[in-house]
Structure 1
Amino acid sequence: MELRQLEYFVTVAEEANFTRAAARVHISQSGVSAQVKALEHELGAELFDRSGRIARLTEAGAAALPYAQAALDAAADLRQAIDEVKGLVRGQLTIGMVTGCEVTPLFAGIAAFHEEHPAIEIELTEADSRHLVSQIRTGLVDIALVGVAGEPPEHLACHVIARERLVALFRPGETATDHLPLADLMAYPLVTLPEGTGIRAVLDEACVAAGFVPDVALAASAPGTVAELASRGLGVAVLSESMASEFPHLSAVAIDDVQSRALLALVWRPRTSPALAALLPHLRHAFAVDNDDPVDNRKR
């Protein structure tokens, strides 16, 4: 018998349908059916009851299923063991990043990793930081670049890229000071990043702690858009220090009594797969190389 016959048998058992199983393994239904029939012929017993619309396991099929799955698992373990000896890694990684991510070291690290380990499939997913942290916890995402307020998420491994203060950005002549208390900032309509980003979380938490309700006039998903809206008089922008440096046509004003910092960080579950373990050094190296200017013009 062949491994592919066992794979098709297990897939049909899981889907309870030959058509769905064929779509899952990306071959024709007739091909799946022929391979399962060949396996049945070799075993001398029918594995499925095909009399109805649902492919039901026969008594022989139910008895064979755990052994077929064990054989497939053993084959995967064997392949991984040999790949590791040869210095290769197989598998799949799902990497999360904030929607509209502009953090170029992340892309550089992924590219270097892919060049060294082309057998690993990489999937990128975008969401807000809060959602990405939740997906890390549930295992839907392997590692994510997120922005959070104050401290890294609990019970997750973390590599902090940057910790930054918030600043307010005014149009020239709109303010004569280089710092102001949060209470004074509340007198202005604000333009911010959306909820679920680290910078917005720092602002919202500071306002809640002080008993303020900020007047968020507009929220935009990219720092450049936030700054552009502010420059057109639609509100005062709230961004991080490094982001603010990208918009010298606006006046950056420190917010005195916001002590919490916006963190940009890589987060992942402490127990890593071989593929993730291979990726981490590439990401750390990419961010270390970019350390002279790690966060300019980046949303988190």
Structure 2
Amino acid sequence: MELRTLRAFVEVVRQGGFSQAAKVVFATQSTVSKAVKQLEDELGLPLLDRLGHKSRMTAAGEIVYRRAIRLLAERDDLQAELEELKGLKRGVLRLGLPPIGSSTLFAPLFALYRQLYPDIEIRLVEHGSDRLSELLAAGEIDFAGLLPPIADEFAAQVVRREPLMALVSVDHPLAQRDAVTLADLRETPFVLFEAGFALNRIIREACRRNGFEPVVAARSTQIDFIAELAGAGLGIAFLPRMIATQRTQVPISLVLLDEPGTEWTLSMAWRRGAYLSPAAAAWLRLVRERGEA
């Protein structure tokens, strides 16, 4: 079994098809298709159920995919350690951060890191927590900013804890309240982030604990747009306090969400037991020195 064929199969699954996978691995679609067929022949089981231009994993494919991403991550660890052994002078720090809160929390840390280690290249990706967890598990990034629950395969350092604030229009009946519960908002539409954002999961699970499913008026990936929609009266939005208080350009009222289990806790996570390059270890030291805010 070759890592080349495993990589081709993994990218077909990730990218949703052979043509997109071919672009990622810098090969032709035919080459990727042959690599997956070679892997299937070697294992003696079909890995993909091909339906026209689409395909989905078989039961065997799910097992191979789960194992393959770990094998490929281990290969990356091996290559990283060998590069360090050969005396690599420049390093790379691969970070995955969520759009919510990253600029406020990490911009000063980036500046300090750059000042201390000017030759280290920082590769930054931004996604919701669910996608960042996948990238971290696959070894494609060294660290990810995640919200709970954090999988056992990751170690984590808490960076910040914040209560959530409900963003309501200034003429909303609850605008003058000091605090609200989700029960108070049961009949009110919500403005949420797109799927994949852990903040959505926090809100939805808290609503279910209160015995209802929220009515979603709109979704977006843009914090400012979500705040504008809430200010315009489309629905209630939710943001961590430190982010909500920065939305001063929007005429809006901020009301504390007094609801157990809704605290926004951002942690810096990494693969438990994985090799950390000197560049990654230096970042982790700074995060730990800063401690929990």
Category of TM-score, reference length = shorter chain: 0.5 to 0.7
Residue identity in the other structure for 2:275: T
Shift in Å at residue 126 of structure 1? 2.0
The structure 1 segments of at least 4 consecutive aligned residues displaced by more than 6 Å after TM superposition are none
Per-residue deviation, residues 142-200 of structure 1 (Å, max 9, x unmatched): 11223x24x44423121211122222122223124333331221211111223322322
Q: 1:257 to 1:120 in 2, by over 3 A?
A: closer
* Pick aligned residue for 2:277 from 274, 279, 287: 274
Shift in Å at residue 268 of structure 1? 0.7
Q: 1:222 to 1:282 in 2, by over 3 A?
A: same
CA distance in 2, matches of 1:243, 1:105: 10
2:194 is paired with a residue whose SS is coil
* Match of residue 240 from structure 1: 240
Q: TM-score, normalised by structure 1?
A: 0.60
* Match of residue 166 from structure 1: 164
Residue identity in the other structure for 1:264: L
Matches within 5 A, 1:17-28: none
Equivalent residues, number = 212
* Match of residue 228 from structure 1: 228
* Match of residue 138 from structure 1: 138
CA distance in 1, matches of 2:122, 2:140: 13
1:140 is paired with a residue whose SS is coil
| Percent of aligned pairs sharing the same letter | 29
Q: Is the 8 A contact 1:182 1:258 kept in 2?
A: no
* Match of residue 266 from structure 2: 264
Per-residue deviation, residues 248-272 of structure 1 (Å, max 9, x unmatched): 6422223333433221121111333
Q: 1:255 to 1:90 in 2, by over 3 A?
A: same
Per-residue deviation, residues 235-260 of structure 1 (Å, max 9, x unmatched): 12222222232246422223333433
Q: TM-score, normalised by structure 2?
A: 0.61
Residue identity in the other structure for 1:201: R
- Structure number with bigger Rg: 1
CA distance in 1, matches of 2:277, 2:89: 7
Matches within 5 A, 1:1-300: 77=82, 80-81=84-85, 83=87, 90-99=90-99, 102-146=102-146, 148-149=147-148, 151-174=149-172, 175=174, 176-247=176-247, 249-270=251-272, 271-275=274-278, 276-285=280-289, 287=290
Any gaps of 5 or more consecutive residues in structure 1?
1-23, 25-72, 295-300
Shift in Å at residue 80 of structure 1? 3.0
CA distance in 2, matches of 1:118, 1:278: 12
CA distance in 2, matches of 1:111, 1:257: 36
Shift in Å at residue 90 of structure 1? 3.9
Residue identity in the other structure for 2:189: P
1:228 is paired with a residue whose SS is helix
Per-residue deviation, residues 51-95 of structure 1 (Å, max 9, x unmatched): xxxxxxxxxxxxxxxxxxxxxx99x84x73474xxxx85443321
* Match of residue 54 from structure 2: none
Any gaps of 5 or more consecutive residues in structure 2?
1-25, 27-77
1:213 is paired with a residue whose SS is coil
Shift in Å at residue 102 of structure 1? 4.3
2:195 is paired with a residue whose SS is coil
Q: 1:272 to 1:195 in 2, by over 3 A?
A: same
Residue identity in the other structure for 2:223: P
Q: Is the 8 A contact 2:177 2:255 kept in 1?
A: yes
CA distance in 1, matches of 2:235, 2:262: 23
CA distance in 2, matches of 1:82, 1:136: 25
Q: Is the 8 A contact 2:100 2:223 kept in 1?
A: no
1:191 is paired with a residue whose SS is strand
CA distance in 2, matches of 1:187, 1:108: 41
CA distance in 2, matches of 1:110, 1:267: 17
2:167 is paired with a residue whose SS is strand
1:103 is paired with a residue whose SS is helix
CA distance in 2, matches of 1:226, 1:114: 32
